[in-house]
Amino acid sequence: MKILITGAGGQLGKELTQLLTTKEYKVFSYDRNQLDITNRTQVKEIFERDRPDIVINTAAFTKVDLCEKELEKAYSVNAIGTYHLACEAKKIKARFFHISTDYVFDGINNKPYTENDSTSPRTIYGKSKELGEVLALAIYQDTTIVRTSWLYGHEGYNFVNTIKQLARCKKEIRVVSDQYGCPTYTKDIGIALEQLLMKPSGIYHVSNHGSCSWFEFANEIVSFLNAKVTVIPIPSKEYASKTPRPMYSVLSSEKINSNGIFLREWKEGLYEYLTKEADNSGH
């Protein structure tokens, strides 16, 4: 089976490329310089040449604050780029898997969001990702939307690596304690995604099991590292960014569980990630 991965320079794209290349698939993996999803002609040419059976789109403009300022880029990559991929995947009859986000929800729920809950994003990032979902589903019925949350992967720009860096040079770190979600290790969503390749198309929520606040997440990282830094809980209104994040964006695992797919507890994923990072840095 031939699988084409976009956004291969990103944290999930790298992880998936690594994971699937070790299996029996033929993997075509492209970073932004090799395949720009906003360039329809390039998408068409590469799809016609490679003729993949499956396309997995991990490419996105993921910087939430920057999306507010660079609105055109956000919609161009997250919505129009996704539309290009869905259209060209349809032409070559490749199944289309598109990665999306918990930020399509407004975060006012007090129980995990299911695939049937209405989306209502509050940020340009969330709105552009929601439009990408809508366009892909409208244009091509063999589209699968995989929503995930609070991702971290090796060499990625993410919360875990930020806290690790701050823990080295600060005495105190102030972290938001009233926003809840589920940290998800790219390795774990990668394994689940491979299992999803065999399932019917549709929308699936995929994150590690359980939930926590950013403050609890930071505390877990700091205590694993045994770092001498104090983590101070702060309310969202004291956080420097003015972009409204969902207060509660935990994703329900019920649907994937009923499809026989189970992800481990977020803390277990985090410990494996931090252990690997320490091994790689020689500590």
Ligand X SMILES: NC(=O)c1ccc[n+]([C@@H]2O[C@H](COP(=O)([O-])OP(=O)(O)OC[C@H]3O[C@@H](n4cnc5c(N)ncnc54)[C@H](OP(=O)(O)O)[C@@H]3O)[C@@H](O)[C@H]2O)c1
Give the integer Cα–Cα distance in Å for 59 and 37.
Answer: 8
Cβ 100 to ligand X, closest distance in Å? 6
Catalytic residue among 83, 125, 140, 185: 125
Nearer to ligand X, 38 or 259 (CB): 38
Encode burial over 248-283: b for 16+ CB neighbours within 10 A, e otherwise: bbbbbbebbeebebebeebbebbeebbeebeeeeee
User: Minimum distance between the CB of residue 59 and ligand X, rounded to whole angstroms?
Assistant: 3
**For binding to ligand X (CB under 6 A), which residues are involved?**
6-7, 9-13, 31-32, 35-38, 58-62, 77, 81, 99, 101-102, 129, 148-151, 156
CA 131-181-95 angle, 5° bins? 40
Minimum CB distance to ligand X smaller for 103 or for 282: 103
In order of 4, 110, 212, 215, the CA distances from 220 in angstroms are 35, 23, 10, 9
Residue number with CB closer to ligand X (27 or 171): 27
In the complex, the smallest distance separating the C-beta of residue 153 from ligand X, rounded to whole angstroms, is 6
Least distance (Å) between residue 13 CB and ligand X:
6
* Alpha-carbon dihedral 119, 251, 245, 217, rounded to 10 degrees: 180
Distance (Å) of CA 254 to CA 210, 230, 261:
12, 36, 10
Closest residue to bound ligand X by CB: 10
Considering the complex, state which of residue 28 and residue 150 has its C-beta at the smaller distance from ligand X.
150
Contact present, 47 and 89 (Cβ < 8 Å)? yes
User: Is 83 assigned a catalytic role?
Assistant: no
Q: What's the closest the beta carbon of residue 19 comes to ligand X, in angstroms?
A: 13
CA distance 246 to 258: 27
By beta-carbon proximity to ligand X, the closer residue of 151 and 166 is: 151
Residues labelled as active-site residues: 125
